[in-house]
C-alpha cells in the first residue's frame, strides 16, 4: 500500500524521500518512482522500526533533502497470524514493540519536526483490526488499537497548532501481508486504498477507512454485543 501511495504522489509531482530497512531495496523503489513519474529519482535513507536509534538521523536526512517536511507517511509494520504469535513469544513481543511503541516513538519524532516547521500532516497506517478484540487478531489488533488511540489523541491535542493527523484503517487489502489468508468479502486492492488515503491526506481527514465500505462493516462490527463477538469466528 505504501508503494501504491508513493506512486500516486510521485505521479502528481510531489517530492518524496523514502525511509525503509534495506538500502538496496529502497534504491530500487526510488528508481521505480523516478522512472514512472519521469522525475528525478527520490533520495532515501535507512530507517528501521526495530531500531529507534535510526529515527532521528533518517528524518534529518529527509529534511535536508527536501528542505522542509510537509507530510510524513508511516506504512511500515509487522504482521503474523494469531496462531504463530501464540506459539512464538519472542515474535509476539517484537510485533507489539514495533507496531505500537516504536511506531509511536517515530511519530513523536516526526510530530516535533512538523510542529517546529509550523505544521503539516502525519499519516499513519493503523488497521480495522484495532476496532474490536477479535479471535484472529488478538495481539496484532491490540497493538493497532493502541496506535489508533494514540493518533486520535494526537489529533485532538495538536490540530489547532497545525498538525493534521490522518489515521488510516485499512480493511482486508490484497497485499503480500494478507497473501494466503482467507479473503473476506469487500477485499480491496492497494491502488484503490492509495487513492482514498491520498484524498484524506489532502483534506486532513483524521480517520479514513479503506476501501470505503469498511467504514460500514466496522460500524456493524463495533455494534455487535460481546456475547456475539465471542461466538463468531472473526
Partner 1 sequence: MAAMLSGWGRVGVPGREVRSEDLRAITRSAVLTRGLGRSYGDSSLPPPGESWVAATPLADRILGFDAAPGVLRAESGLSLGTLNRLLLPRGFYAPVTPGTQQITLGGMVAADVHGKNHHRSGCIGSHVHSLLVQVADGRVVRCSPDEERDLFRATVGGMGLTGHVLEVEVRLERVPSAWILRETERVPDIDAFVAALKRAGPSWPHTMGWIDCVSGGTRLGRGILMRGRWAEPREAPPGLPRPLLRPALPFVFPGFVLNPVTVRVFNELYFRAHPRGVRRGVVHPEAFFYPLDAVGHWNRMYGPRGFTQYQCVLPDEAGPGAARRLLTTLTGLGGASMLCVIKDCGDEGAGLLSFPKRGISIAIDMPIRDRTQAVVDALNAQVIAEGGRVYLAKDQFTRPEDFRRMEPRLPEWQRIRREWDPDARLRSAQSVRVLGDAP
The reply to whether 28 sits near partner 1 by the rule CB under 8 A is: yes
Q: Which residue has the cell 522542509?
A: 68
Q: Which of 12, 13, 24, 38 binds partner 1 (CB under 8 A)?
A: 38
Residues in the chain: 234
Is residue 116 within the footprint of partner 1 (CB under 8 A)? no
Beta strands in 135-233 (DSSP E): 163-170, 207-210
Give the shortest CB-174-to-partner 1 separation in angstroms.
8
Q: Specify the residue, 38 or 160, whose C-beta has the smaller distance to partner 1.
A: 38
Angle between helices 53-66 and 103-116 (to 10 degrees): 30
Q: Is 13 in the site for partner 1 (CB under 8 A)?
A: no
Q: Within positions 202 to 221, which residues make up the interface with partner 1, using CB under 8 A? A: none
- The span from the CA of 202 to the CA of 198, in Å, is 6
Q: Assess 75 for contact with partner 1 (CB under 8 A).
A: no
Q: Give the residue carrying C-alpha cell 489508533.
A: 148
Confirm or reject binding of residue 127 to partner 1 (CB under 8 A).
no
Residue closer to partner 1 by CB (options 34, 212) is 34
C-alpha cell at 31: 528508481
* Catalytic (active site) residue 150: no
Catalytic residue among 140, 150, 172, 209: 140
- DSSP for 149-173, written as a single string: HHHHHHHHHHTTTTEEEEEEEE-SB
Burial 178-200 (b: 16+ CB within 10 A, else e): eeeeeeeeeebebeebbbbbbeb
Q: Which is nearer to partner 1, 183 or 220 (CB)?
A: 183
176 binds partner 1, rule: CB under 8 A:
yes
Residue 37 Cβ vs partner 1, minimum distance, rounded to whole Å? 9
181 binds partner 1 (CB under 8 A): no
Conformation bin of residue 89: beta by default, left when phi > 0, alpha when psi is -120 to 50: alpha
What positions carry a catalytic annotation?
Answer: 140
Which residue ranges make up the site for partner 1 (CB under 8 A)? 3, 28-29, 31-32, 35-36, 38, 175-176, 179-180
Amino acid at each position: 500500500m505504501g508503494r501504491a501511495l508513493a506512486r500516486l504522489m510521485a505521479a502528481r509531482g510531489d517530492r518524496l524521500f523514502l525511509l525503509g530497512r534495506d538500502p538496496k531495496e529502497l534504491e530500487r523503489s526510488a528508481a521505480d518512482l523516478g522512472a514512472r513519474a519521469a522525475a528525478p529519482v527520490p533520495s532515501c535513507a535507512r530507517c528501521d522500526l526495530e531500531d529507534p536509534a535510526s529515527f532521528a538521523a533518517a528524518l534529518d536526512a529527509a529534511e535536508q533533502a527536501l528542505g522542509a517536511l510537509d507530510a510524513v507517511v508511516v506504512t511500515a509494520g509487522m504482521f503474523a497470524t494469531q496462531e504463530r504469535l501464540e506459539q512464538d513469544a519472542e515474535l509476539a513481543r517484537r510485533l507489539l514493540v514495533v507496531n505500537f511503541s516504536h511506531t509511536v516513538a517515530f511519530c513523536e519524532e516526526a510530530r516535533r519536526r512538523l510542529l517546529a516547521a509550523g505544521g503539516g500532516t502525519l499519516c499513519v497506517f493503523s488497521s480495522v483490526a484495532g476496532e474490536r478484540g477479535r479471535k484472529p487478531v488478538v495481539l496484532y489488533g491490540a497493538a493497532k488499537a493502541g496506535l489508533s488511540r494514540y493518533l486520535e489523541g494526537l489529533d485532538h491535542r495538536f490540530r489547532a497548532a497545525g498538525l493534521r493527523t490522518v489515521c488510516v484503517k485499512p480493511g482486508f487489502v490484497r497485499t503480500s501481508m494478507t497473501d494466503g489468508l482467507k479473503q473476506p468479502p469487500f477485499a480491496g486492492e492497494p491502488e484503490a486504498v492509495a487513492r482514498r488515503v491520498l484524498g484524506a491526506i489532502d483534506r486532513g481527514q483524521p480517520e479514513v477507512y479503506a476501501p470505503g465500505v469498511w467504514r460500514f462493516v466496522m460500524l456493524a462490527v463495533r455494534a455487535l454485543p460481546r456475547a456475539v463477538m465471542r461466538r463468531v469466528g472473526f
